[in-house]
Amino acid sequence: MAPPGAFGHLSLALGAAVAALGSILFIAWRTYFPGGGRWGARWEPPLAAGQGPASATPLLLLIRPLLSWQLDFSMRQVLVLGLKGAGKSSVLHYISSEAAKDRTAPTQGFNSVQVYADGFQIDLLELGGSQNLRFYWNQYLSQAHVLVFVVDSADRPHLPTARQELHWLLAEDPRLPLVVLANKQDKSDALSVAELHRELALHTLNGQREFFLLPTSATHTALATATSIRHVKSLLVELLSQL
Ligand SMILES: Nc1nc2c(ncn2[C@@H]2O[C@H](COP(=O)(O)OP(=O)(O)O)[C@@H](O)[C@H]2O)c(=O)[nH]1
Ligand SMILES: [Mg+2]
């Protein structure tokens, strides 16, 4: 008969093995059956322009489930979409930094910034707005906690396209909270929020989702005004902290 000390060690080792196996099974379940609400969303590397899904190395395949399991608890993802030139990168710039910026380079593929608030990390992911990239937009909806749709309020010729793209996205997910930014309000020919509400047919939205329409100016001089990007950041923190 083995001494009691040996039993103690054996039961400890067995307990550790069961806990480890349980963790592995849980991670595998969360990874391959992510249907348990938005918190089950997996993070995938975004597509670069004109590419299919990024090929995963064996090492990445091995660690990705662990990474996504870790990130799920503290990360909220905000998907930032809108036509090319609407001001998405500028909005991201002023959300993450208040430093002046004269101009932004056009986004090739995607652009991502992280900000920290109230104990969680907000990952803002901008996907390029050119026609070839818009094709991929809907693939990122299931991972998002909030959709921010940026519109150039002075670009009247492209408003019908913006409306069409927005409603196409909304049809894919009837519950995803939506924040529409009526951007470039500093321009003299910018449409008002009320006019954009009509032009973008926002009255047709169903009551299932939280919806906000904010006038913004993604410029350094506007940071202290009523159209400041600071209001967008506060709204996002409020929305995301409710999750
Ligand atoms: N006047 C004005 N220009 C802006 C505003 N937001 C962005 N821009 C300018 O619009 C152009 C396109 O902006 P960008 O952020 O790259 O647009 P994106 O393609 O949607 O990412 C750049 O020259 C920006 O400086 C704004 O609120 N007001
Ligand atoms: Mg951009």
Checking 134-141 for CB contacts under 8 A at 24+ apart, the result is 134/165, 136/47, 137/81, 137/165, 137/169, 138/168, 138/169, 138/172, 139/47, 140/46, 140/79, 141/79, 141/169, 141/172, 141/173, 141/176
Number of alpha carbons in the 13 Å side-chain half-sphere of residue 88? 28
Per-residue CA distances from 178 to 120, 163, 174, 194 (Å): 20, 14, 10, 17
In whole angstroms, give the CA distance from residue 104 to residue 93. 9
**pTM score, two decimals?**
0.75
Residues 6+ apart with CB under 8 A from 30: 36, 40, 65, 68, 69, 72
Residues 6+ apart with CB under 8 A from 238: none
Q: What is the number of other CB atoms lying within 10 angstroms of the CB of residue 64? A: 17
Instruction: Indicate which atom in ligand 1 lies nearest the CA of residue 103.
Output: 25
Every domain of the chain with CATH number 3.40.50.300 lies at 75-241
Cα 86 to middle of ligand 1, angstroms: 6
Q: Would you say the CB of residue 86 lies under 6 angstroms from ligand 1?
A: yes
| Strand-pair category, 146-152 with 211-215 | unpaired
Residue minimizing CA distance to atom 23 of ligand 1: 103
Pocket test for ligand 1, best of 81, 88, 96, 104 (most atoms within 8 A of CB): 104
Whole-angstrom Cα Rg for the chain: 22
Sign of torsion over alpha carbons 196, 201, 205, 209: negative
Per residue in 134-184, pLDDT (tens digit) is 999 999 999 999 999 999 999 999 999 999 999 999 999 999 999 999 999
Alpha helices in the chain (DSSP H): 4-32, 58-72, 88-96, 131-134, 159-172, 193-199, 229-241
Per residue in 69-101, pLDDT (tens digit) is 455 557 899 999 999 999 999 999 999 998 888
Instruction: Provide mean pLDDT across the span 228-240.
Output: 95
Tell which CATH architecture fits domain 75-241: 3-Layer(aba) Sandwich (3.40)
Instruction: Indicate which atom in ligand 1 lies nearest the CA of residue 91.
Output: 15
Instruction: Indicate which atom in ligand 1 lies nearest the CA of residue 86.
Output: 20
Q: Relative to the alpha carbon of 223, which ligand is closest?
A: 1
Residue minimizing CA distance to atom 9 of ligand 1: 87
Instruction: Indicate which atom in ligand 1 lies nearest the CA of residue 217.
Output: 27
Q: Would you say the CB of residue 109 lies under 6 angstroms from ligand 1?
A: no
| Continuous segment of H or E residues that includes residue 112 | strand 110-117
Given this model, what pLDDT does residue 175 score? Answer: 93
Cα 92 to middle of ligand 2, angstroms: 9
Q: Would you say the CB of residue 153 lies under 6 angstroms from ligand 1?
A: no
pLDDT higher than threshold 60 for residue 32:
no
Residue minimizing CA distance to atom 2 of ligand 1: 184
pLDDT higher than threshold 50 for residue 64:
no
Residue minimizing CA distance to atom 13 of ligand 1: 87
Checking 191-196 for CB contacts under 8 A at 24+ apart, the result is 191/153, 191/154, 191/156, 191/159, 192/153, 196/151, 196/153, 196/159
Q: Would you say the CB of residue 214 lies under 6 angstroms from ligand 1?
A: no
Window from 81-85, 118-122, 130-134, 233-237 with minimum mean pLDDT: 118-122
Given this model, what pLDDT does residue 67 score? Answer: 55
Q: With beta carbons less than 8 A apart as the criterion, state whether 145 and 121 touch.
A: no
